């Protein structure tokens, strides 16, 4: 039996057909695809408050939600801007990055306690056969967690995470490129 390197570029493209993109904050009609998606996780948590009714039966009332996401991507230079200069709160010498789609800009905005709201879209091919095998998810989120560089061997990753504030689409489709059937 011959060993196969499953990390070869052509095998990765065949085995994993998923991507993650975000809506461009400067031009909402444009979408920017994040590079080299490695892992992606979404957690939908619908909170319930437990209490007992007049008959002693347990009841669960909706008490909000706490959805979150996290994704690891390979660290590339185009994820970052020229950087920023932070002198302190209210200081007129603070310099913001120019590229609003860069991690530098998102970190700068969070440093100023100004949330960065982004729309993420992810599409992946599910297991099995059939016409409707693509899963599409679109959600609005507050990006508030970053690990700009994590090094593991020869690979450096960047983790982006945060709170999901609005779920817009969770559906299957026959198309890998559009949200419609």
In a domain, 29, yes or no: yes
8 A C-beta contact, residue 102 and residue 79: yes
State pLDDT tens for residues 64-117: 889 998 888 888 777 788 777 777 666 667 778 888 778 888 888 888 888 888
Written as six digits, the tokens of 67 are 């959805």
Please give the tally of structural domains in the chain.
1
In a domain, 131, yes or no: yes
In a domain, 1, yes or no: no
In a domain, 178, yes or no: no
Q: Per the confidence metrics, is the pTM higher than 0.85?
A: no
Backbone angles phi, psi at 107, to 5 degrees: -65, -40
In a domain, 68, yes or no: yes
Mean pLDDT of the region 36-63: 86
CATH of the domain at 143: 4.10.410
In a domain, 10, yes or no: no
Mean pLDDT of the region 122-146: 82
In a domain, 181, yes or no: no
In a domain, 11, yes or no: no
Q: What is the spatial distance between Cα 153 and Cα 71, in angstroms, rounded to a whole number?
A: 19
The domain in which residue 28 lies consists of 16-48+63-173
- Least confident interval from 8-22, 25-39, 163-177: 8-22
Backbone angles phi, psi at 79, to 5 degrees: -75, -15
């Amino acid at each position: 039996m011959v060993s196969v390197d499953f990390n070869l570029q052509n095998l990765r493209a065949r085995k994993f057909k998923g991507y993650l993109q975000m809506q461009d904050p400067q031009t909402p009609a444009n979408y920017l695809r994040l590079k080299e998606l490695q892992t992606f996780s979404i957690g939908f948590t619908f909170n319930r408050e437990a209490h007992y009714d007049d008959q002693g039966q347990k009841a669960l009332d909706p008490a909000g939600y706490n959805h979150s996401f996290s994704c690891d991507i390979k660290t590339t230079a185009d994820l970052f801007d020229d950087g920023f200069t932070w002198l302190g709160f209210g200081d007129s010498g603070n310099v913001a990055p120019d590229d609003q789609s860069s991690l530098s800009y998102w970190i700068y905005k969070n440093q100023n306690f100004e949330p960065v709201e982004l729309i993420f879209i992810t599409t992946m091919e599910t297991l099995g056969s059939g016409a409707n095998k693509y899963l599409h998810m679109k959600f609005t989120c507050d990006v508030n967690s970053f690990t700009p560089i994590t090094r593991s061997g020869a690979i450096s990753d960047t983790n982006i995470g945060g709170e999901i504030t609005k779920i817009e689409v969770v559906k299957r489709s026959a198309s890998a490129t559009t949200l419609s059937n």
